[in-house]
Amino acid sequence: MFGTLSERLSGILSGLTRRGSLTEEDVNAALREVRRALLEADVALEVVRSFTDKVRERAVGAEVLKSVTPGQQVIKIVNDVLIETLGGEGEGIGFDAVPPVPILMVGLQGSGKTTSTAKIAKRLTDRNKKKVLMASLDTRRPAAMEQLAVLGTQVGVQTLPIVAGQSAVQIAKRAIEAARLGGFDVVMLDTAGRVTLDDTLMEEVAQVKAATGPHEVLLVADALTGQDAVNTARAFDARVGLTGIVLTRMDGDSRGGAALSMRAVTGKPIKLVGTGEKVDELDDFHPSRVANRILGMGDIVSLVEKAAQTVDADKAQALAQRLAKGNFDLDDLRMQLQQMEKMGGFGGVMGLLPGMAQMKNQLAAAKVDDKMIARQIAIINSMTPGERKNPDLLKNSRKKRIAAGSGTSAEAINKLLKMHRGMADMMKAMKKQKGGMLGKLGGMFGLGGGMPAGMPDPSQMDPAQLEALQKQLGAGGGLPSLPPGGFPGLPKGVTPPAGMMPKLPGLGGGKNGLAGGLPGLGGNPFGKKK
């Protein structure tokens, strides 16, 4: 998400921080590059002009140019203006109405409207404990109603029975009545789309809105279409009045122009973003967190939220007890790798860590990707239970069998075993500590032991408290610095490298929090001398 834009802006702004002082001309030169980067990201021209004017107005003041850290002050201003452009405060779907609450889904054909309808229905069912009914009003596209019915079965949400020959308005009225009689809290109305905007489409949507009085009218737009998505939003808002926007395929939008333009141009909040094809890959849109990610500051709060949502509490507790005894076998490593997959894979996790945007090319050169995790899991799955419990049994003949069974090589198996040994040694070194870093990391990533002293459990926090946690972890979105002497609670002589970040599931530590622990890589993934 925003990969290209993040890389450009991070490079431009990092040049300012390296200077001891700034002049007005320095700021103007940087803003010219920012303007070019935004235009290349397909941000609307009017939005680019407004953005750069706001930054320039705040950045050329005497307080900034004569401050001790003028470069950092400018970056803070850019971050603040980015948050304003993206909408300030995030807004979720509203339910403040008499049930059943109608939610009308509109958009062009191919934007992911039907899939997004099912994703939102699942989200409302699982997170908000709402009883949801879905209804397809698409009478033109072949098998559109059947598609929604199949998705309903997959996500465990009821769909309105199909009755042939009814119009979109008749189906909508029947859905509202069925939801009222069935005691449903929410009814999702998936309207028909067209390849392009036309009067027939708009008239049908307007009639459905008049017949149902929806509490929310959500436009589903494809982020990859850039300015076309903005034009679509304008047209729908003018005709039917939108209350919010759902952006799909954000996982493939490396430019980010649609997201940056939508709110500023239409004034309507982006409420949700689709981050993948799976039914659970739908995230809330938080302007402040997105701004941090665009500027390469990471998003630790979202990372903690993902860990809290995906962790299996029973398995995590069992693993915590094993780690407390200094035990860490290949079954435990497999569980950690599977946990990372649930959190969005290697790319999804690393995209939320501060500073990862600048390491994009290094990670690509080292072939660090989600396939690597799948290969590691395949290797472990090809072992016998005894081999997973006691890796010392793995001699050459056994490695050949495992390599053939997993479709890998003996070299890949050796790298996995080396990584496991390093992690197991660290667990043993931490065995005698009480309330030290192992417990803190365990609490942060769902492995028991609680959060660091003074920090509440993120799974029990509301959005406002999580935002406060983000600020507590550092203004730049990073993690708190370690006290002198390294990690608390480690035995004497065991000191991880300075600046080491907390280990994520399946990752070890090292320089920049990466070397020595990437699944499938040796001690130095980028080939540099230590």
Question: 344 with 277: CB under 8 angstroms?
Answer: no
pLDDT score, position 266 = 84
Taking the CB of residue 20, how many other CB atoms lie within 10 A of it?
8
Q: Which two three-digit tokens encode residue 381?
A: 């799955």
Q: For residue 219, list its beta bridge partners.
A: 106, 245
pLDDT score, position 140 = 84
Which residues have CB under 8 Å from 84's CB, separation 6+? 54
The DSSP result for 23-78, as a single string, is -HHHHHHHHHHHHHHHHHTT--HHHHHHHHHHHHHHHTSHHHHTSSSHHHHHHHHH
Task: Report the Cα 476 to chain-centroid distance in Å.
Answer: 18
d(Cα 110, Cα 146) in Å, to the nearest integer? Answer: 16
pLDDT score, position 521 = 39
Reading phi first (left if > 0) and then psi (alpha if -120 to 50, else beta), residue 220 is in beta
pLDDT score, position 383 = 92
pLDDT score, position 111 = 86
Residue among 207, 210, 157 nearest 186 (CA) = 157
pLDDT score, position 34 = 84
Reading phi first (left if > 0) and then psi (alpha if -120 to 50, else beta), residue 165 is in left
Q: Which two three-digit tokens encode residue 422?
A: 């390093």
Question: 324 with 462: CB under 8 angstroms?
Answer: no
d(Cα 171, Cα 186) in Å, to the nearest integer? Answer: 16
d(Cα 27, Cα 95) in Å, to the nearest integer? Answer: 45
The vertex-342 CA angle with 341 and 346, nearest 5°, equals 35
Which residues have CB under 8 Å from 60's CB, separation 6+? 24, 27, 28
pLDDT score, position 153 = 93
Question: 262 with 221: CB under 8 angstroms?
Answer: yes
Please indicate, yes or no, whether the overall pTM of this predicted structure exceeds 0.85. Answer: no
CA atoms within 13 A on the CB side of 305: 20
d(Cα 66, Cα 311) in Å, to the nearest integer? Answer: 48
pLDDT score, position 157 = 93
Tell me whether strands 270-274 and 244-248 are parallel, antiparallel or unpaired.
Answer: parallel
d(Cα 188, Cα 447) in Å, to the nearest integer? Answer: 37
Specify the 3-state DSSP secondary structure of 449.
Answer: coil
d(Cα 434, Cα 488) in Å, to the nearest integer? Answer: 10
pLDDT score, position 91 = 81
pLDDT score, position 362 = 61
Can you give the pLDDT of all 530 residues of the chain as single tens digits?
565 666 677 767 776 666 666 677 877 888 888 888 888 877 888 888 888 888 888 877 656 656 656 667 777 788 888 888 888 777 888 888 888 999 999 988 888 899 999 999 999 999 889 999 999 998 888 888 999 999 999 999 999 998 888 999 999 999 999 999 999 999 999 998 887 778 888 888 999 999 999 999 999 988 887 777 888 888 888 888 899 999 888 776 555 677 778 888 888 888 998 888 888 888 888 887 777 767 765 555 556 655 666 666 677 677 777 776 767 888 888 888 887 777 766 666 665 665 555 555 566 566 566 678 888 889 999 999 999 888 888 888 999 999 999 998 888 899 889 888 888 887 777 665 544 444 444 444 444 434 444 444 544 555 565 555 555 544 333 333 333 333 333 333 433 333 333 444 434 344 333 333 444 333 443 344 43
Q: How long is the chain?
A: 530
Kindly tell me the burial class for residue 356, based on how many C-beta atoms sit within 10 Å of its own C-beta (0-12, 13-18, 19 or more).
Answer: buried
Question: 236 with 242: CB under 8 angstroms?
Answer: yes
